[in-house]
Structure 1
Amino acid sequence: MNDFRLATDVRPSNYELRFDLDLEQWRSSGTARITLSLGRPAREVTLHACDLDISVARADGEPALRVSYDEDAQTATLEFASELAAGEHVLHLEWQGEIREALRGLYRSTRPGERYAATQFEAADARRAFPCFDEPEFKARFRVELIHQTGVAAIANAPIENVEDRGGGRTLTRFAEMPKISTYLVAFTVGPYEFTPTRHTATGVPVRVCLPPTLAEQGLFALEAHVRSIEWLEAYTDIPYAYTKVDAIGLPDFEAGAMENPGAITYRTRYLAADRGTASVAVLKAVFSVAAHELTHMWWGDLVTMKWWDDIWLNESFASFVGDKATAALNPQWEYGRDIVQEAGPAFALDSLRTTHAISMEVRNADEASERFDAVTYNKGQAVLRMIEGFLGENAFRDGVRIYLRRHREANATADDFWRALDEASGRDVTGLAHAWIREPGHPIVHCSVREVAGGLELGLRQERFFADPDAQPTGQVWPVPMVIAYGTGGEVRQERVLLGEREATVTLPGARWYLPNGGASGFYRYAFDDRGVALLAGAVSGLRPEERLDLVSDLWALVRSRRAPVAQLVELLAGLRGERDRAVLQTLADVLGWLSEHAVRDDSRPAFEALVESLYRPELDRLGWEPREDDSDDEREKRALVIAVLGARAAAADVRAEARRRVDAHLAGTSRIPPDLAGVLAMVAAIEGDAPLYERYVARMKETEITDAQEEARFRGALADFADPTLAARTADSIFTDLIRDQDRSLMLQRMLGMRRARHDAWRVVREHWAARIVPMDPGGKHRIVRGIGQLTPRELAPEALAFLEANRAGDIKETAAQAAEALRIGSATAERIAAELPAALERAALQARA
């Protein structure tokens, strides 16, 4: 794709669109009446169109002399015999197209006996459904009509105005006009949907959940999540919801998790069909947080839209940040702040690469835009906003948000517009602080040295850019780092707030006996202690807040991987956390142990490694037991599943694997039902030593529940990847591009299997076999997942071939992702070998200390 941009002196104001959808032949045809304004006289009008055959083109009734296409720019140019004057004109267009297999543009979806047409237009795929000015700057009003099979539901952004019987089993559904939106937010779908009852928010917004047949009753929790989130967001922004309705639509096939089309938010089915009685706490949290994220977009992205894709972070970072604020505020029982801290992990990993990108940077075309939907845009952006809010205070930050939204509603805006609003609300120079974090790639590590002075501690602080590659050269970058330093005085824990704006600084902590450089885990930076700092903190670790403990583990793990700390120091910290009871901290430990198990634990050190895992997690299983209790908190329900998963998968605990198999056998036989929090975990653990008959029962269960229970189908589909038997592992890999696995799930399964020691060889074979025919034509999101998965092929026998493959395929909409995956693979492969060599001695030392 080239860097073509549409002329800004041709601006649409209204679209009237009619689509005739043939779901038997998977064909579509359409007509458009586009009202536009020319800023100067012109003989030609260029707009976007991709894979469409425009058969009729007129301007004010005058036929075009010719329609020419530029496939690389994805445009159509209409040439007229006479010049069109400056001012308003009306284009009439007719076209034919396909309802595609790839999950982008106007695409097809099926379940047994059911057919659907659906849309996914972000970033630049509206042009695959209708000719349009497909850039976010060109906001316009839309009116949509759909001709479709009689007897199925038709849904679009706006409410239905009327329905007309066209005869011959065809129906015309007309929708009301939408307020001004960008083309990427237009949405419609037809299919045999069923609906929850409609609920209204306190301000009267009608909300319903739309799901495939048999699933609507499972959508009531999602319905509640939408209603409560809208009400919270209206209060936070002080701006009423701007659209006439909310339909939350579960699509059988959908590449992303969800999409914020105003009035017609689309989701993967499992993010809506999640009944309280059949879904795990983890799934319910995902349902709520995804809904809150998408609804936040109704203000950030839909009501106020970025001018161009270089500011896509402004949409996504805000939706993550404010959506999580809503989730935490509305569900205090989840203690969701710990989850928010954990969400920074993927951002730290990607942002530590030399091939990372700034949160806000130039985007030249739609291919580059598609690569911006990553952990830097979502997770780092969210973390930086959280850090800025902490610097300004919640009230000043919220006031700036309100100024920004009111000033730019139904229009386009830039990041600088937002910073100016924060400057105005707070009276501080937010713009200067923000530019350093938003426009610069990477993040700092703050090296901390300490000396004891009369009555306290004196810290020496020195910052530099953090790289995962231990051989990377310093860049000289300096950030304004809003540090929150927690320290203990013996009687209380205090905080010292420091804006570290220079490369080096000195801070005195009166009365301090120990300190932590990132109190509350509120900052997006790494930190490193000197030996004295480690010794001072050692006795205080158990008293840190859970988010601080998990951040401490995450931080040390990053230092070990970048060769800034020895493996023995990490193992010592892990061993020192025996008796840890917090679910989020145990999850962070599990993530570290999982990487070690898959990439760095050799056969000779595996027994000692498994013994360490056993010592960390067995006490919690003994305390919680296998059976849920009536007084279990949501956290305990999640934790029970976590400790069983870790003991079964990482400690290879024979009793856990046997009990998991017994319970799964009974569940599949129908003699008992596993509680939802444990069902997926036990399916996974039982699969590890599972045989061919069990594999067949998993496949049968998937097929039985495909149309009745999205959560159950996902559990047993996911567990197919966990069968360790080589024949069954190969069978799972070979099934990915068959009808057994839905289009939307293929990239997710491949990405996971590429990182698993028992499955990676077969997954890598399947990637190579299907690359050209099946993976290259995928939607960008699916390709990005698979490419990142290739970056996990760390074994010495795989890494060189995988690196060569990534280098050979650095082009198009995976150019940047392939470069990042290649760098991650080079670092990961070297790190795995180094840790594997150091780990046996570190484990032996920890075992000796435990016995002492």
Structure 2
Amino acid sequence: MHRNLLSAAIALAFAAFPLQQAAAALTPAANQEATTQLPRGVIPSHYDIALAPDAARGRFDAKAVITLSVARATSSITLNAADLGFKDVTIAPAAGGAAQTARSSIDADAQTASFAFDKPLAPGLYKLTLDYSGVIGTQAVGLFSLDYPGSDGKQQRALYTQFENSDARRMIPSWDEPAYKASFTLEVTVPAGQMAVSNMPAARTETLADGRRKVSFAKSPKMSTYLLFLAAGDFERATAKEQGTELGVVTRRGAIDQAKFALDSSKDILREYNDYFGVRYPLPKLDNIAGAGRSQFFGAMENWGAIFTFEYALLFDPASSTQHDRQEIFATAAHEMAHQWFGDLVTMRWWDDLWLNEGFASWMESRMTARLHPEWNTRLGTVGSRDGAMQRDSVATTHPVVQHIQTVEQANQAFDEITYQKGEAVIRMLEAYVGENAWRSGVRSYMQAHAYGNTVSDDLWKQIEKAARKPVTAIAHDFTLQPGVPLIRVGEPVCRNGSTTVALAQGEFARDLPGKKPLAWRVPVIAQVAGNAKQASTLVAGGKGSIVLPGCGAVIVNAGQSGYYRTLYAPKEFARLAQAFATLAPIDQLGLLSDSSALGLAGLQPASSALDLVKATPVGADPQVWSRIGHVFEGLHWRYGDDKARRQRLDAFAIARLAPVMAQTGWEARNGEAPAIANLREQLIDTLSELGDPTVIAEARRRYAAMDKDASAVPGPLRKTVLAVVAQHADAATWDGLHARASAETNPLLRDRLYTLLAIAEDKALAQRALDMALTDEPGLTNSAAMISAVAQRYPDMALDFALAHVEKINQRVDASSRSRYFARLAMGSSNPATVAKLQGYGQANLAPTSRGDVDAAIAAIQDRIKTNAARLPEIDAWLQQNGG
């Protein structure tokens, strides 16, 4: 998927918890039973499902015949079911014999159904037959509907499923846990003229007497319930063939041409993955199905053979899509296709090891994008991804990559920056440590050994260590079984006879626990002397280490930025690097900017350190370095909040620094320009607009005013950016004009985008109008939550207060899998102490104690921001005063 937090007390306990004990607690042995929330002893092997949805009524009728084995005598069977009603339930020996009728009981809180039998079931093989009905939802959980304007302007409705992590139970009574793998045969009845899509190709289609079509799909391989998929609607499908697999894209009618880039990309990706994993993609086809709207929980889902992707992450429309969109479409496809192996073919045993799915898919996504599109230079983006993980991982409310999951809500909350971005960063570091070839050999062995099965993290480390012949498991345990970010302190370099020796010491980067005793990691470190292409590596263990480097000069630790740690230089050495900053490799410039920003705000070096680097950056620096600098300025801009005088001083300095880069980049694309320039153009316009640059705002308004009469005024790749500037600085009349555009737009993708833009206005009265509109049906039920989130980016307290005042209506417009985190995330950007109490009250009133991880994280973020702003912004003020700000 493309996106349980441990409590602070548990996270802190790791500081005094020996690593070997942590490993024993969090890493189950290979022969240990999988975690389950269901009674043991009954195991399904195959599901036959017949489904008859009534999209207009929002209901479905269904019949399931489940082949299962009973390991020990029992008088009842309990499985997962949510919002299902049962009519007739019987069980009979699979070999034939008399059937027993069951007495059904539902436990809504536990999301289970139990079936009791008068005569105990002896051990053996049975068929459980269930006639039942359920609900078609309007948010992306279970079987759900998405409404959108059709090409003829009439409202259309399509059906889709979303089962990860624990929502197959909303459509199929099942053992809805990843370790209960089984095969599936699915049959669905749909209206005449509609297309139905599932994991496997259609094996048979027949027309019924009433004109409806019954579509029966081929039997699936053995897989987890959360990977089953179904879609039905007025669709089009385009296909291509690659290495024996039929690749397809499925869209609403009229949009198929916009999926061409995704289809073409999937051919290249499949070919590469077949080679990399050493196991050919095993299903006969692989579709990518586009859906209008959005979710607060995910952008795409890796259903085996039938990836679901929201349109904004799959369709490329030259009339409005950007270079950044193109890259995101490719990355999303690469991520979900990687899951066809890491997650689908080999699945984590329980949600504790979710990172085996998501961390690896994120890493493969980055690797594949860099390999197949080197012209995009996306390798530089790994620094920003790592930074996002470290931001979350450096406060007490973090959690280990491998974490114990107890409830469905905790599993929902496990889809976070630690699972995805830290998981990816740790893999990148370990691959750099053992070598690319050894890593790939280990991955191939892992795939071959565990195909169609379930694993824990140590199953992977065993194969990597065998291939690499290096102590990978010990290092991997350090970084996955305990939380936190290592800090490498760099001693003063000593140069003798053309070589430099540097002492290294390991601590911990903990932003809100300055007195915390550091955890211990074995840290792979790569370093080099600036200007010298040769690197050296070492393993810092026991808290200390040293490294000898060829050459003399300023030393770069974490050269190439593959390590998951912060690097802290002594003031003198940082000054040498700042002086040499323009000559460093772009990825190390980004790493130095990232570390100096984080360490400065944490008080470990001057808060102005990042601005020293910004001042040293030449106009001709790599576009992604300037993009990062734009983010640095925006981050500081937001920290000043309503303090307009201090904020304007920063903004003036930032505009003066960025304006020459904008002038060099220009508003119009040049023939043959690098893709990174197109991305930088978009970023600069956005940042300068946020900083209040009158030149950029005026130019965007000019182009917008001319757009309807002169198509060249706003080229397709600039459309989103120009509209965003206009929306941000809109007055009431302009906002009304944008609203009229949104309500008249028939392209679902553009329509959704326009409604979201209505929610980014700086004018507070207009932001309130957007909030009020979000609770109506006008924007579409899947856009409401996105509009409120957009308001929260600028006015977090206002958005949270609004949401808390309308909890029931908000919950109707938020995926059930996102509710425990949605309200907390609205407040993440707040600097208001009063918001802490509001979040605490919300958590206590609405969430179980085990489901408050995101609330705790939001509170920690607010408290950290308040403390940091008070302590560090005066340093920024002083630097600006000394440097002409």
User: Any conservation in 2 of the 1:347–1:380 contact (CA below 8 Å)?
Assistant: yes
Q: Do structure 1's residue 516 and structure 2's residue 556 form an aligned pair? A: yes
Change (3 A) 1:772 1:580: farther
User: Any conservation in 2 of the 1:755–1:793 contact (CA below 8 Å)?
Assistant: no
Looking at structure 2, the residues matched to 487 and 231 of structure 1 have their Cα atoms a distance apart, in angstroms, of: 39
Alignment of 1:42-53 (within 5 A): 42-53=74-85
Looking at structure 1, the residues matched to 205 and 856 of structure 2 have their Cα atoms a distance apart, in angstroms, of: 51
User: Any conservation in 1 of the 2:535–2:549 contact (CA below 8 Å)?
Assistant: no
Is 447-456 or 289-298 further displaced after alignment? 447-456
SS at match of 2:127: strand
Alignment of 1:99-178 (within 5 A): 99-112=136-149, 113-178=155-220
Instruction: Choose from 47, 59, 64 the match for 2:101.
Output: 64
SS at match of 1:477: coil
Looking at structure 2, the residues matched to 161 and 251 of structure 1 have their Cα atoms a distance apart, in angstroms, of: 24
Q: Do structure 1's residue 720 and structure 2's residue 763 form an aligned pair? A: no
Looking at structure 2, the residues matched to 8 and 764 of structure 1 have their Cα atoms a distance apart, in angstroms, of: 43
Q: Do structure 1's residue 12 and structure 2's residue 44 form an aligned pair? A: yes
Q: Do structure 1's residue 575 and structure 2's residue 615 form an aligned pair? A: yes
Q: What's the counterpart of residue 798 of structure 2?
A: 762
Looking at structure 1, the residues matched to 233 and 688 of structure 2 have their Cα atoms a distance apart, in angstroms, of: 44
Q: What's the counterpart of residue 741 of structure 1?
A: 779
Q: Do structure 1's residue 366 and structure 2's residue 402 form an aligned pair? A: no
Q: Do structure 1's residue 566 and structure 2's residue 609 form an aligned pair? A: no
Is 824-833 or 739-748 further displaced after alignment? 739-748
Sequence identity percentage: 30
Question: How many residues of Structure 1 are paired with residues of Structure 2 in the alignment?
Answer: 837
User: Any conservation in 2 of the 1:571–1:846 contact (CA below 8 Å)?
Assistant: no
Q: 1:262-282 deviations in whole A, cap 9, x for unaligned?
A: 121101111122135641010
Looking at structure 2, the residues matched to 363 and 671 of structure 1 have their Cα atoms a distance apart, in angstroms, of: 53
Q: What's the counterpart of residue 410 of structure 1?
A: 452
Looking at structure 1, the residues matched to 648 and 619 of structure 2 have their Cα atoms a distance apart, in angstroms, of: 21
Is 216-225 or 386-395 further displaced after alignment? 216-225
Looking at structure 1, the residues matched to 310 and 389 of structure 2 have their Cα atoms a distance apart, in angstroms, of: 24
SS at match of 1:724: coil
Q: What's the counterpart of residue 696 of structure 1?
A: 736
Q: 1:284-308 deviations in whole A, cap 9, x for unaligned?
A: 1010000010000000111111111
Q: Do structure 1's residue 543 and structure 2's residue 583 form an aligned pair? A: yes
Is 28-37 or 635-644 further displaced after alignment? 635-644
Q: What's the counterpart of residue 633 of structure 1?
A: 674
Q: 1:690-735 deviations in whole A, cap 9, x for unaligned?
A: 2222212222322343436x2x335433432332223212112222
Q: What's the counterpart of residue 66 of structure 2?
A: 34
Q: What's the counterpart of residue 644 of structure 1?
A: 685
Name the aligned partner's letter for residue 665 of structure 1: A
Q: What's the counterpart of residue 630 of structure 2?
A: 590
Change (3 A) 1:553 1:628: same
Looking at structure 2, the residues matched to 612 and 808 of structure 1 have their Cα atoms a distance apart, in angstroms, of: 45
Q: TM-score, normalised by structure 1?
A: 0.94
Q: What's the counterpart of residue 428 of structure 1?
A: 470
Looking at structure 1, the residues matched to 329 and 850 of structure 2 have their Cα atoms a distance apart, in angstroms, of: 29
Change (3 A) 1:126 1:476: same
Is 825-834 or 282-291 further displaced after alignment? 825-834
Q: What's the counterpart of residue 839 of structure 1?
A: 876
Name the aligned partner's letter for residue 829 of structure 2: Q
Instruction: Choose from 251, 255, 266 the match for 2:291.
Output: 251
Q: What's the counterpart of residue 232 of structure 1?
A: 272
Is 281-290 or 712-721 further displaced after alignment? 712-721
User: Any conservation in 2 of the 1:567–1:842 contact (CA below 8 Å)?
Assistant: no
SS at match of 1:247: strand
Q: 1:131-180 deviations in whole A, cap 9, x for unaligned?
A: 00111011111000001222211111111112122222422111111111
In the TM superposition, residue 441 of structure 1 has moved relative to its aligned partner by: 0.8
Q: Do structure 1's residue 459 and structure 2's residue 502 form an aligned pair? A: yes
In the TM superposition, residue 125 of structure 1 has moved relative to its aligned partner by: 0.5
Q: Do structure 1's residue 791 and structure 2's residue 800 form an aligned pair? A: no
Looking at structure 2, the residues matched to 347 and 56 of structure 1 have their Cα atoms a distance apart, in angstroms, of: 49
Is 349-358 or 99-108 further displaced after alignment? 99-108
Q: Do structure 1's residue 74 and structure 2's residue 114 form an aligned pair? A: no
User: Any conservation in 1 of the 2:523–2:541 contact (CA below 8 Å)?
Assistant: yes
Alignment of 1:184-583 (within 5 A): 184-195=226-237, 197-201=238-242, 203-255=243-295, 256-276=298-318, 278-455=320-497, 456-469=499-512, 471-488=513-530, 492-579=532-619, 581-583=621-623
Looking at structure 2, the residues matched to 805 and 794 of structure 1 have their Cα atoms a distance apart, in angstroms, of: 18
In the TM superposition, residue 837 of structure 1 has moved relative to its aligned partner by: 3.2
Looking at structure 2, the residues matched to 748 and 845 of structure 1 have their Cα atoms a distance apart, in angstroms, of: 42
User: Any conservation in 2 of the 1:126–1:183 contact (CA below 8 Å)?
Assistant: yes
User: Any conservation in 2 of the 1:142–1:177 contact (CA below 8 Å)?
Assistant: yes
Looking at structure 1, the residues matched to 874 and 518 of structure 2 have their Cα atoms a distance apart, in angstroms, of: 33
Q: 1:617-664 deviations in whole A, cap 9, x for unaligned?
A: 1112211222111222211111122222222221x2212111100111
In the TM superposition, residue 824 of structure 1 has moved relative to its aligned partner by: 1.0
In the TM superposition, residue 354 of structure 1 has moved relative to its aligned partner by: 0.7
User: Any conservation in 1 of the 2:393–2:418 contact (CA below 8 Å)?
Assistant: yes
Looking at structure 2, the residues matched to 414 and 807 of structure 1 have their Cα atoms a distance apart, in angstroms, of: 34
Alignment of 1:655-734 (within 5 A): 655-669=695-709, 671-672=711-712, 674-707=714-747, 710=749, 712-734=750-772
Change (3 A) 1:747 1:545: farther
SS at match of 1:493: coil
Looking at structure 2, the residues matched to 748 and 546 of structure 1 have their Cα atoms a distance apart, in angstroms, of: 34
Name the aligned partner's letter for residue 554 of structure 2: W
Name the aligned partner's letter for residue 755 of structure 1: Q
In the TM superposition, residue 4 of structure 1 has moved relative to its aligned partner by: 6.2
Looking at structure 1, the residues matched to 99 and 167 of structure 2 have their Cα atoms a distance apart, in angstroms, of: 28
Q: Please identify runs of 4+ aligned residues in structure 1 that moved more than 6 A.
A: none
Name the aligned partner's letter for residue 34 of structure 1: I
Q: 1:8-40 deviations in whole A, cap 9, x for unaligned?
A: 431111110011100111111110111111112
User: Any conservation in 1 of the 2:767–2:791 contact (CA below 8 Å)?
Assistant: no
Change (3 A) 1:690 1:243: same
Which ranges in structure 2 are unaligned for 5 or more consecutive residues? 5-34, 93-97, 150-154
RMSD: 2.1
Name the aligned partner's letter for residue 744 of structure 1: T
SS at match of 2:648: helix
Q: 1:54-87 deviations in whole A, cap 9, x for unaligned?
A: 1111111523341122222211111111122212
SS at match of 1:32: strand
Looking at structure 1, the residues matched to 123 and 753 of structure 2 have their Cα atoms a distance apart, in angstroms, of: 59
Q: Do structure 1's residue 94 and structure 2's residue 135 form an aligned pair? A: no
In the TM superposition, residue 126 of structure 1 has moved relative to its aligned partner by: 0.5
Q: Which has the higher contact order (CA 8 A, sep 6+)?
A: 2
